[in-house]
Structure 1
Amino acid sequence: MQVFGSSGTRGVANEELTPAFVLRVAKAAGTAWGADRVAIARDTRYTGRMLADAASSGLASTGTDVDRIGVIPTPGAQFYAEREGIPVIVITASHNPPQYNGVKLVGRDGIELAVSDLEDIEDVLLAESATVAPWDETGRVQEIEGVRRAYVDELLEAADGETIADANLTVALDPGHGAGSLTSPEFFRELGCRVVTVNSQPDGHFPGRDPEPVPDNLEDLGQLVRATDADVGIAHDGDADRAIFYDENGEYIVGDAALAALAAAELEAGETTVSAVNVSQRLVDVVTEIGADLELTPIGSTNIITRIEELEANDERVPIAGEGNGGIFFPSFRLSRDGAFTAARFLELVADRPASEIVAPYDDYANVRFNIEYESTAERDAMIDAAANHAQESDAELNTRDGYRLDHGDAWVLARPSGTEPLVRIYAEARDATRAQELAEELYETVADAKADA
């Protein structure tokens, strides 16, 4: 695909992702879908309303009626899609920096579109073959109220509220000024938790921290956990489809450890989980111990969703799937990443024992990640070629499902281009922190040298 990556299409707003481009995407989607109604949602980004207006105009021009459901987490928009049986266009750049925005497309079943469906829309977009309705058959636009409240009610119904309430938990919450600011504080309070917050006012400039919930952006959350004697800290990204945790000591919990702990609680022998090619050994160990199966895909929610659907079509049960970035699926609830629901499932575990004990079995591995920016296709291609050459010269087992992953037995390292930003990402993991650092630095230097020579 030329336009849609691993999670929609994104770019710097008003530069790469312009209102004119969003209008074209919406016209292509409206044409390909052929739906009578389509909803439009957005996160809190400063440019969100501008781009939602463009999407609304594009849809209406194809004769499609438009439901404007406002600022809501992406999983809340997916809830609305499933409830109403209509597709949704979500204006969001998820975890990207404030200057970015994006377009994510959701089907009438509440699930992000599969690759084949995205390709259909992309074909219309690139061929400029969108249909336009006569002036008196253009779509009508209406504002829909109460969707956030209905989404919270659904979460409350799905969560084990009795177990969580009985534990009398204190939750420190950092929704990062994103869409979760408008739903997660309410949700956790109604679950019976005492909730203390930081960065909880919706603000598209993201003044307190950048939207990506990584340790460098979450120091305030760790401090809040310690200052309030909270049982757990929870952080979201900009559209609240992810959840990252801090333990009761205010220490960051690696996302892969949280995923492993949740998988250990969900999986049974003979079942299957799905993750991406940068999967942690933590999850591999859980799957092996339980006697379950692990399927790997290219990185990105679209790829994971597609594989889950294929497995379920063959009557294989997939109770949990996801990546170590906090984006986790519980398909029996909905085939979407939902930060609030993921956090509720983690709270069910915390109700039984401290968060630090929950993830203690999965603390044996050290992770390192580097990002290298590029400014041109030539730089990008030079870096990828360098990674390929490095991989071919290595004695490690090579996996090229998404980038170049080298498995050394005691450790692994991966280089791949980001699907959402102009970055080449390098990941490494080992039981020994020095070993992981060395592997990552070796590959980083190889790729960085290639960029410099491009």
Structure 2
Amino acid sequence: MKVFGSSGTRGVVGEEFTPEFVSRVASAAAATWEADRVALGRDTRTSGRTFADAAAAGVTAAGVDVERLGVVPTPSLVRHCEVESVPGVMITASHNPPEFNGVKLVGDDGIELPVNRLEAIEERLLAEEPTTVAWDRIGDSRRVDDANDDYVAELLASVDREAVAAADLTVALDPGHGAAALTSPEFFRELGCEVVTVNAQPDGHFPGREPEPVREHLDDLGRLVRAADADVGVAHDGDGDRAIFFDETGSYVEGDASLAALAARDLGEGDTTVAAVNVSQRLVDVCEAAGANLELTPIGSTNIITRIKELWREGESVPVAGEGNGGVFFPDYRLVRDGAFIAAKFLELLAEREATVSEVVAPYEDYTNVRENVGYGSDAELDAMLAAAEEYAASADAEPDTKDGYRLDYGDAWVLVRPSGTEPKVRVYAESADADRAEALVREAVEVLVEAKRGVEA
């Protein structure tokens, strides 16, 4: 696909991402769906209203009514789509920096569109097929004000509220100025938790931190956990579909470790879980211990969703899936990454074990993950870096997995080099039980990429 990447389509506002482009995407989607109405939501980005207006124009121009939900987390929009049996358009760039925005598309089953459905919309878009209707068939627009309230109510009904309340937990929460600032504080308080917050005011400038919930952006949350003597810290991304945790000492918990802990709770013999090619050995270990199967896909929620749906059609049980970035699926609840639900399942785990966060993740702390990005400013730089990555992989003392980029598994460690599906970066990941080994693998690969890029600049 050229337009839709690993999780919708995104770009820098005013450059490749314009109101005209968003209107065309929304119009092509509406015409392809052949629906009579479409739900429309957005996150807190400063450009969100502009692009929501553009999307609404595109949908109504295709003769389809629009239900405008306002600022909602992606899982809130997804819930509305499933319950109302309407497709949806979400204006969000998720974890990308503030200058980005994007579009996610959701089917009337409440599931982000799989690859084949996105390709059909993309084909219509790129062919520039007419999608507008005559003046007397233009769609209407109406506001929906209770989507977030209904979403929180369903969350509360879907988790073990009594067990979490009985555990008497203090939760330090960082919604990162994103859409979950409108829902997660209320949700955790209604669960019976004491809640303290940082960066909890919706603000598309993201003044407190960048939207991506990675270690280097979350110092304030670690300090809040320590200052409030909290039991757990929870951080979301811009559209609230991810959850990253801090332990009771204010220390960052690797997303791969929390994914492994949650998977170990739910996976049984004969089950299948789905993860991406940057899967941690932690999850591999969990699957081996449980007698469960592990399926790998290219990175991104779109690819994981597509594979889960295929496995369902084959009669497979997939109780948990996801990536180590905090994006965990519990498909029996809903096939969506839902940061609040992920965090609630983690709180259930703490309550069941009567354990601290550090105790729960301790079995999965034996590995070190290192990640570094190399940005590029032109297609020529990207092409040069990917050519260098291919040569680097071919000359390595390991068989490359080319499902998504180049993954080299050395037995004691692995390294992955791949272009981002959402940003102009080539990402390098490595993992090993030996921290120095992981650092060395990343450093070696990054040097190869930087040298290739330097050759283009020269």
TM-score by length of 2: 0.99
Residues in 2 aligned to 1:130 and 1:227: alpha-carbon distance in whole angstroms: 58
Match of 2:420 among 418, 421, 438: 418
Match of 1:57 in 2: 57
- In the alignment, structure 1 residue 78 sits paired with structure 2 residue 78: yes
Match of 1:399 in 2: 401
Match of 1:369 among 368, 371, 374: 371
- In the alignment, structure 1 residue 130 sits paired with structure 2 residue 130: yes
Aligned residue identity for 2:450: A
Residues in 2 aligned to 1:386 and 1:127: alpha-carbon distance in whole angstroms: 34
How many angstroms does 1:397 deviate by?
A: 2.6
Residues in 2 aligned to 1:407 and 1:397: alpha-carbon distance in whole angstroms: 7
How many angstroms does 1:349 deviate by?
A: 1.2
Secondary structure class of the residue paired with 2:258: helix
Aligned residue identity for 2:188: F
Match of 2:297 in 1: 297
How many angstroms does 1:332 deviate by?
A: 0.3
Aligned residue identity for 2:427: R
Superposed CA offset, 1:385-408 (max 9, x none): 111111111111321100000000
Match of 2:337 in 1: 337
Residues in 1 aligned to 2:27 and 2:427: alpha-carbon distance in whole angstroms: 33
Match of 2:440 among 424, 431, 438: 438
How many angstroms does 1:14 deviate by?
A: 2.0
Secondary structure class of the residue paired with 2:450: helix
How many angstroms does 1:30 deviate by?
A: 1.0
**Which range is displaced more, 124-133 or 330-339?**
124-133
Superposed CA offset, 1:88-135 (max 9, x none): 000000000001000000000110101110011111111111321110
Q: Is the 8 A contact 1:398 1:407 kept in 2?
A: yes
Secondary structure class of the residue paired with 2:371: strand
How many angstroms does 1:320 deviate by?
A: 0.2
- In the alignment, structure 1 residue 281 sits paired with structure 2 residue 281: yes
Residues in 2 aligned to 1:154 and 1:333: alpha-carbon distance in whole angstroms: 11
- The within-5 A match list for 1:159-198 is 159-198=159-198
How many angstroms does 1:49 deviate by?
A: 0.3
Residues in 2 aligned to 1:349 and 1:8: alpha-carbon distance in whole angstroms: 32
Residues in 2 aligned to 1:121 and 1:390: alpha-carbon distance in whole angstroms: 36
Aligned residue identity for 2:382: R
Residues in 2 aligned to 1:236 and 1:397: alpha-carbon distance in whole angstroms: 36
Q: Is the 8 A contact 1:31 1:130 kept in 2?
A: no
- In the alignment, structure 1 residue 383 sits paired with structure 2 residue 400: no
Match of 2:104 in 1: 104
Match of 1:204 in 2: 204
Residues in 1 aligned to 2:407 and 2:249: alpha-carbon distance in whole angstroms: 34
Q: Which runs of 4+ in 1 moved over 3 A?
A: none
Superposed CA offset, 1:407-438 (max 9, x none): 00000000000000000000000000000001
Residues in 1 aligned to 2:428 and 2:399: alpha-carbon distance in whole angstroms: 17
Aligned residue identity for 1:378: A
Residues in 2 aligned to 1:321 and 1:381: alpha-carbon distance in whole angstroms: 32
Match of 2:347 in 1: 347
Secondary structure class of the residue paired with 1:59: helix
Residues in 2 aligned to 1:183 and 1:311: alpha-carbon distance in whole angstroms: 32
Secondary structure class of the residue paired with 2:5: coil
Residues in 2 aligned to 1:132 and 1:208: alpha-carbon distance in whole angstroms: 42
Aligned residue identity for 1:243: A
Give the gaps of 5 or more residues in structure 1. Answer: none
Residues in 1 aligned to 2:306 and 2:25: alpha-carbon distance in whole angstroms: 22
Residues in 2 aligned to 1:381 and 1:442: alpha-carbon distance in whole angstroms: 19
Residues in 2 aligned to 1:91 and 1:141: alpha-carbon distance in whole angstroms: 17
Identical-pair percentage: 64
Aligned residue identity for 1:119: E
Match of 1:428 in 2: 430
Residues in 2 aligned to 1:332 and 1:225: alpha-carbon distance in whole angstroms: 32
